[in-house]
Amino acid sequence: MVDNNQSVLELIDNAIKSRKMAIFCGAGISRNSGLPIVSEIVPRILTKLELNEEDKEEVLTANLRFEVLMGILAENSDITPIIEIYNLGEPNTNHIFIAKMVKHGYIRTILTTNFDLLIEKAVRSEGLIENVDYKVYYLEDQFNNIDEGIKPHERFNLLSSIGIVKKKNMIQIFKIHGSAHSIESIRTTMNSVASKTLSDKRARLIEHFFCTAKHDIVLVTGYSCSDVLDINPKILSVKEYKKMIIYQKHSGEAGEWTNSKVEIKNYLFKDFPGNMINLDTDMFVEKLWTANNKLGDYKEINSFTDWEKFIDKWSIDIKDKSYTKCIICSDLFNYITDFKKSIKYLEASLRICEDLNDTQSICKCYLKLGSAYYSLGDFSKSIEYFRKSLKFCEIIDDKFGISKCYSHLGNAYRDIAEFNEAIEYFNKSIKIGTEIDDKQVVSKSYREMGIIYGSIYHDTATAMELIKKSLEICEEIGDMQGKWRCYTNLGHCYSSENRNKSIDYFKKSLQVCEDIGDREGIAACYNDLGCKYERNTIKEGIEYIEKSLKMYEEMDHKIGISGCTGNLGVAYGILGNYQKATEYLEKCLKICEEIGDKKGKYMSYQALGDLNSQMGNSDKANEYYRKAMHGYREIGDYHGARRILKILGVYYDEENDMFLI
């Protein structure tokens, strides 16, 4: 780390002049071109959805990624007018500075998260020609052939690896989140971020840029480090051959100039060599520009765009479509795990669709309602809505919808321990999914059916066969999320008969999640790992669950938080620390009640019953067991209810609806 401000400036200037620097930039470099930043554009979109102030504030404080919001909008409306915003504007001082460095050969590689076309415009304004002097990469297939694990002494030109451009010294501009002139590239990004994953192709690009490419130093500017669902986890997972990072953090104080790393909590590049600079971006660029006499006279260039009118244009299309607005709102609240509010908007949408007799939309509403109630652990209602959706899908002969309904019904019946019924639905889903070539639903059904055979029937051979079929499909279609879930399911299959093998599969799953930057998946793997340690290693298990809990809390993922607190309660109960166990289980119960997670609530009652039984509080234990038993019956989990009755020493006569001692 360089210790004084002037030395940092000299380091950057020398790196530029020695042609050893690359640039990684975010939306901050385009603000002076009149393009909106996320904190400006998102509230305007939410206003057009006519959310009330309370609901609007909830979405805004949930740290919803812009790409996730755009993905939800794209699924339900035409977002072309919004994308057009990023075709606007003229290059500002930042873009011109970058373009001049490119022109003079100081910078040869640029990585950006920006959709806009301003870097390209600036480079063209300096007389450079696309596909002659520079090449822009914005499609996943263009990132496909970057070799992993290249050691520094094995470095080679990235372009020859990709096999697209033959001119060795061509300038490379990588737009990792896509480009405004290609809506398809942006859709790919939105789908990836919405599913909380970074594709292996983009992951390889990030690893190459920050580890094995030819440059030695990366200047990071205009970047907020907010890509917590895709890019950040991959950067944090970098283990070796790290580039030196100069991170310029924009400061509102024009005169502030510090280079300490400690000002930012959870600093993204904390494990990289280098410096963090707090300085106004305009002043930072001016200092670098004026330090290099080859760049010409420094010019401050700003522009203005009337971007709000494009949001207005988008909103016209949905102005009279209350159904669409409600569906978008329900998807937003579903994503931030407020399933009760999601249901509120879905029910409003359903009423509108029924008035319009819109069968296809009714079918969609029922399916989403089923999923929302499933997330809340209300399996009876979930099954009811999945069946209604199935009925309408059959009326309009929507085979994709039918296949999804069968798969969802399989999940719901599995979770109420109706395993034969679940397998029947999974097989139906596989049959139709195969006919229509819906490989994702086929893979999912194989995977979910496999866990029944493994964990419930203890038929490991059949389970392995089914999950391997799922795994093959995942690898064929590049479904990395499905891949880690397969490994997780294999871990569950072995949980009762081979604990070490189970842990090995969970670690494989964790590795895939880390590779693709799936934070939710990483947290789930830590939780699974924590639950598989035996009594003599339970403290190691607790460490894993606490890691999981920390990540879920950072994401405000309430279902994940409740699962971790419940598991910690059980773990501390095993250790005999009944006070801590009670605290965690009561916290789990409270969260489940807040979010309406019925199954989680009744499982908490059961766990509290087990704990009080261990403590010798039989009356209190029986009170919790009875609450759990009645709850399980309410949601249709009769297997769970019978399990409690067995603990209580009671037999239930189903035919006569009687309890017998």
CATH of the domain at 163: 3.40.50.1220
Q: Is the pLDDT confidence value at 535 over 50? A: yes
Instruction: Indicate the SS3 state at residue 355.
Output: helix
- Separation of alpha carbons 429 and 436, rounded Å: 11
Name the least confident of 7-21, 74-88, 266-280, 638-652.
Answer: 638-652
Q: What is the number of other CB atoms lying within 10 angstroms of the CB of residue 91?
A: 27
Establish if 130 belongs to a structural domain.
yes
Q: Is the alpha carbon torsion for 42, 43, 48, 51 positive or negative? A: positive
CA dihedral 481, 487, 489, 493 (to 10 degrees): 180
Share of the chain above pLDDT 70, in %: 89
Q: Does some domain include residue 418? A: no
Report which of residues 220 and 7 the model is more confident about. 220
Q: Is position 228 within any domain? A: yes
Are residues 245 and 134 part of one domain?
A: yes
**Residue 80 contacts residue 183 (beta carbons within 8 Å):** yes
Residues 106 and 176 in one domain: yes
CA distance 325 to 477: 32
Token couple for 242: 């790290």
Q: Is residue 20 part of a domain?
A: yes
Please tell me whether residues 59 and 202 are part of one structural domain: no
| Residue 160 located in a structural domain | yes
- Does 582 score more than 90 pLDDT? yes
Is 355 exposed, middle or buried, given 0-12, 13-18 or 19+ CB atoms closer than 10 A? exposed
Task: Mark whether 81 and 157 lie in a shared domain.
Answer: no
pLDDT tens readout for residues 76-119: 999 999 989 998 889 999 999 999 999 999 999 999 999 999 99
What's the confidence (pLDDT) of residue 536?
A: 66
Same domain for 141 and 279?
yes
pLDDT at position 154: 41
Instruction: Check whether 446 has a pLDDT greater than 60.
Output: yes
Which of 281, 308, 331 is the last residue before a domain boundary? 331
State in Å, rounded, how far the first CA of the chain is from the last one.
74
Categorize the per-residue pLDDT at 402 as very low, low, confident or very high, splitting at 50, 70 and 90. Answer: very high
Give me the pLDDT at residue 250, please. 82
**Reduced to 3 states, what is the DSSP secondary structure of residue 238?**
coil
More confident residue, 152 or 120: 120
Same domain membership, residue 278 and residue 263: yes
* Of 122, 123, 116, 88, the residue nearest 27 (C-alpha): 116
DSSP code at position 303:
-
Are 63 and 210 members of one domain? Answer: no
Backbone angles phi, psi at 217, to 5 degrees: -125, 140
Is residue 146's pLDDT more than 60?
no
pLDDT tens digits along 606-648 = 999 999 999 999 999 999 999 999 998 887 777 788 888 888 8
Among 286, 311, 331, which residue terminates a domain?
A: 331
Q: What is the crossing angle of helices 558-574 and 598-614, to 10°?
A: 10
Same structural domain, 118 and 187:
yes
User: Which residue, 209, 340, 199, 210, is CA-closest to 271?
Assistant: 210
Predicted structure pTM score: 0.76
Give the C-alpha distances (Å, rounded to integers) separating 383 from 7, 422, 424, 551: 66, 11, 15, 31
* β pairing state of 651-653 and 658-660: antiparallel
| Residue 314 within a domain | no
**Residue 493 pLDDT exceeds 70:** yes
CA distance 569 to 571: 5
Q: DSSP string covering 1-63, please?
A: ---SHHHHHHHHHHHHHTT-EEEEE-GGGGGGGTPPPHHHHHHHHHHHTT--HHHHHHHHTTT
Tokens, residue 544: 């894993």
- The phi, psi pair for 179, rounded to 5°, reads -135, 145
pLDDT at 654 over 70: no
Mean pLDDT of 538-549: 93
Considering the domain architecture, whether residues 97 and 71 belong to the same structural domain is answered as no
In a domain, 617, yes or no: yes
> How does the average pLDDT of the chain come out, rounded?
85
Residue 486 has pLDDT above 80, yes or no: yes
**Residue 435 burial class via C-beta count within 10 angstroms: exposed 0-12, middle 13-18, buried 19 and up:** exposed
Coil, strand or helix at 111: strand
Q: At which of 276, 311, 331 does a domain end? A: 331
DSSP string, 208-235: IIIIISS-SEEEEES-----TTTHHHHH
State the Cα–Cα distance between residues 170 and 150, nearest whole angstrom.
Answer: 21
How far is it, in rounded angstroms, from Cα 425 to Cα 407?
6
Residue 189 has pLDDT above 80, yes or no: no
Asked if 142 contacts 161 with a C-beta cutoff of 8 angstroms, the reply is: no
What pLDDT, on a 0 to 100 scale, did the predictor assign at position 150?
Answer: 38
- Regarding whether 326 and 238 lie in a shared domain, the answer is no
Domain with 627 in it: 605-661
Helix/strand/coil for 275: strand
Q: Domain total for the chain?
A: 3
Instruction: Please write the tens of the pLDDT for every residue from 124-143.
Output: 999 999 999 999 999 888 88
Phi, psi of 470 (to 5 degrees): -60, -45
**Which of 67-81, 308-322, 544-558, 646-660 has the weakest average pLDDT?**
646-660
Query: Does any domain span residue 438?
Result: no
Question: pLDDT tens digits, residue range 452-465?
Answer: 888 778 788 899 99
**Whether residues 183 and 256 fall in one domain:** yes
Same domain? For 148 and 44 the reply is no
